[in-house]
Structure 1
């Protein structure tokens, strides 16, 4: 079966965050099929394309991957060839709802040419209410409205459209937006553990090290976290690892940082590679993500795997970590309270070593148990 995977970001991208390892995991599960990945030739926010060997069409881990330049008249030849590849596929797997080049254009062409096959769509968190409110809400409303009115979100290419979601929360987003749409829950895969040796964590008594991983954008709640740090009484350092995506929000965060007391240090590190993320998680005492909406939360899973306890909002699929002892979960009202956030961080700073060690052990012991994969979905469709 010919499967074309459309993805705005793929290997070697790292600035786009969790979707990339999730898509790589989906592709890995399809080894029994003829898979071709179509993706961007540059990382999120970059103006320059990747260097060789990630140019044109190359094999990545045994799978053909075509790296496409941004949509333009000059690039029309490359995009025409890519769209021919799409039209020849038996299954098209789209990894965005809003991408102009990797969702809107292909779906329009497929509809106009009366393509027949199976359409699978992973919304990658883009249908969450918090995500729909960001960027250009009216454009998103027009496009999702068109999908709803045309019934393409329910049926496309002569068969039911299948929405591949990472959690029951995201499944509810799809049902709310497109009543009657078929969906399948396939939990995401985490990035493989790196080969670098683990660095020892410094003692918490000197300075509590807190890390957050994700784009600096309103949905991630980094502003709430920084406001909370102003209420921590003991030395603390926060490292923010992620693309400084939203300039206006970055300015807000910087202003909040400038107002912090001297014993609180915040570093906006910017986008870093997977190895640096892994090292930061291994050497930090607390991972914090007060997100306003997360369809999966790869960074949370990676923090737990590294034995780093977590402080997260209740807007992720990982809320069970509170009961497991691996972390603390705050509801959105508490996330918006600097006093509540500060108290939660302070509790980790004051925690006895034995309790912190127990929470770290609980975190490291949590493992995903689902065996569902994209290949499972395709087998069910064929059966």
Structure 2
């Protein structure tokens, strides 16, 4: 029997980590769908995002087979250098190397330089890093990096993985029209379709909103709080925020808004949420509220839809025209009054109306997850 092609995935954070959100989920889903068709080798850190605590029960700087055909090498911080990355990468003798992101010193730049000197096929997953909303954060450093990358031909003979056509435009707007790009939507989490979804109680005039994302300008946490603070609502609103705080000063501004909210609106900050607890947390709320500045996919959006939660998001994601599909709202950030109006409508829903909308949401998500063309497009990346 012909041996399986070896795919080496390079990523800063991987399971059991969860604080980095989407990139971890994207890679975990990719492996879950394609294991058995390829041999996967993942190199990563032995700590989670914004954490120095090592994963318990995992020995650093050695390969761990986490399931048949899937091995992970967890680097400790003191062992991360060019030579060690090169030694581990060359030892795999992979057919394809799949690099997540652009700016990581060890897991993007070093890995790319090492891979370019071999005969391996090199794929770089853009992960939304070329979007204007991402480039504009620390934009001077990023613009200098892209300028140098183009000048030295860093991405010559490299294939970029874009999750949608908009991301293709973002990549080529920065690196030029000659850059090679393949399009494959991010794969959804494999769900147990036999698991029954509990029905949450929904009273007219009461609404439980939830956000599961980093507390950051990119995810627009402050904007969400301002939508609640700047308008008058008739009823009780509870907004629960899950996610790590990366910028303490940004969170201080958010906290100041929270303290000024009227008595009928409460905000609860719960900190980081392990991905395995996300489904249960979602099912305790009515609506995902995430006015993000931009997502190349948005795993939490799909996971919320799969759990039956309508979503209230910006129009800066691939999830569009939601209102006409009766599954939520995708609204322009320049019009905060429209977010207020959507919350007012959702607040007024009675149990029967909410249940009807929730059923539409689950049906929409199930149809997306069942689309086999998405798996085929990702398979083609490595073939």
* TM-score, L = length of structure 2: 0.89
1:59 aligns with 2:65: yes
1:6 aligns with 2:4: no
Q: CA offsets per residue over residues 277-328 of structure 1, 9 Å max, x none? A: 2112112111111011111011110111111111111000001322211011
C-alpha RMSD over aligned residues: 2.2
Shift of 1:38: 0.5
Give, in whole Å, the separation in 1 of the partners of 2:259 and 2:205.
22
Say if 2:327 and 2:361, in contact at 8 Å, map to a contact too: yes
Shift of 1:78: 4.5
Give, in whole Å, the separation in 1 of the partners of 2:320 and 2:82.
46
1:115 aligns with 2:118: yes
**Which residue of 1 is the match for residue 309 of structure 2?**
308
Structure 2 gap ranges (5+): none
- SS of residue paired to 1:341: helix
Give, in whole Å, the separation in 2 of the partners of 1:129 and 1:340.
23
Give, in whole Å, the separation in 1 of the partners of 2:340 and 2:175.
39
**Which residue of 1 is the match for residue 173 of structure 2?**
176
The within-5 A match list for 1:133-282 is: 133-134=136-137, 136-153=138-155, 155-156=156-157, 161-179=158-176, 180-193=178-191, 198-205=197-204, 207-230=206-229, 231=231, 232-282=233-283
- SS of residue paired to 2:253: helix
Query: Residues 12, 34 of structure 1: CA spacing in aligned structure 2 closer, same or farther, 3 A cutoff?
Result: same
Give, in whole Å, the separation in 2 of the partners of 1:95 and 1:121.
6
Shift of 1:196: 7.9
User: How many residues end up aligned between the 2 structures?
Assistant: 366
Say if 2:204 and 2:350, in contact at 8 Å, map to a contact too: no
Say if 2:289 and 2:311, in contact at 8 Å, map to a contact too: yes
Query: Residues 74, 140 of structure 1: CA spacing in aligned structure 2 closer, same or farther, 3 A cutoff?
Result: closer
Say if 1:26 and 1:373, in contact at 8 Å, map to a contact too: no
Give, in whole Å, the separation in 1 of the partners of 2:175 and 2:36.
31
1:100 aligns with 2:100: no
Q: CA offsets per residue over residues 16-71 of structure 1, 9 Å max, x none? A: 1122121122234153333311011111011111111464320122211100122x
- SS of residue paired to 2:334: helix
The correspondence for 1:125, drawn from 94, 112, 128, is 128
Say if 2:205 and 2:347, in contact at 8 Å, map to a contact too: no
- SS of residue paired to 1:279: helix
The within-5 A match list for 1:296-335 is: 296-334=297-335
**Which residue of 2 is the match for residue 24 of structure 1?**
28
- SS of residue paired to 1:218: coil
Shift of 1:103: 0.6
* TM-score, L = length of structure 1: 0.89
- SS of residue paired to 1:321: coil
**Which residue of 2 is the match for residue 36 of structure 1?**
41
1:342 aligns with 2:350: no
Query: Residues 359, 198 of structure 1: CA spacing in aligned structure 2 closer, same or farther, 3 A cutoff?
Result: closer
The correspondence for 1:45, drawn from 29, 45, 50, is 50
Say if 1:214 and 1:241, in contact at 8 Å, map to a contact too: yes
Shift of 1:75: 6.4
Q: CA offsets per residue over residues 182-215 of structure 1, 9 Å max, x none? A: 2122111233447987554133336310011110
